[in-house]
Amino acid sequence: MVYLWIDANVILRFITGDPPEMAAKTLKLMARAEKGDIGLRVSPLVLAETVWVLSSFYKYPKKEIAENLISFICADGIYPENQALLIQALKDMADKNVDFADAYLAALAGNQEEAICSFDVDFQKLGARWVMPPG
């Protein structure tokens, strides 16, 4: 099978349907992936960019972003890196009202049983092992 790494703009066209011409091409691409003709890979970095554009440009609420992206990364033919961590991060982003990047970092650190060093107190909301930079 041929695998393609997709960029945020492909995911955005699929979710928003905007602009219609590109969205139609994305739907055809997704249909090929669902049939098993190709596999579409998604990196956490691309998902982070997608979250940012959906929230800042399209003004989607976090809950709607999480629902749409969880459905997307769980679809047949989609192969995200660290799927379980991405799902956890998307849920935490919506449920705990934190940034996706913070939620993903907390999920990643927790999975590796490691701590986070940050000035951002949102990590407390996430239940992550967290320390402030010393000094």
CATH number at residue 67: 3.40.50
Indicate the residue type of 77.
G
Across 115-130, average pLDDT: 94
90-116 pLDDT, tens digit each: 999 999 999 999 999 999 999 999 999
First to last CA, the chain: 52
**Total domains in the fold of the chain:** 1
What percentage of residues in the chain have a pLDDT greater than 90? 97
Domain that holds residue 46: 2-131
Of 4-18, 47-61, 114-128, the poorest mean pLDDT is in 114-128
Give the integer Cα–Cα distance in Å for 135 and 131: 12
Residues 6+ apart with CB under 8 A from 66: 90, 91, 93, 94
- pLDDT(135) > 80: no
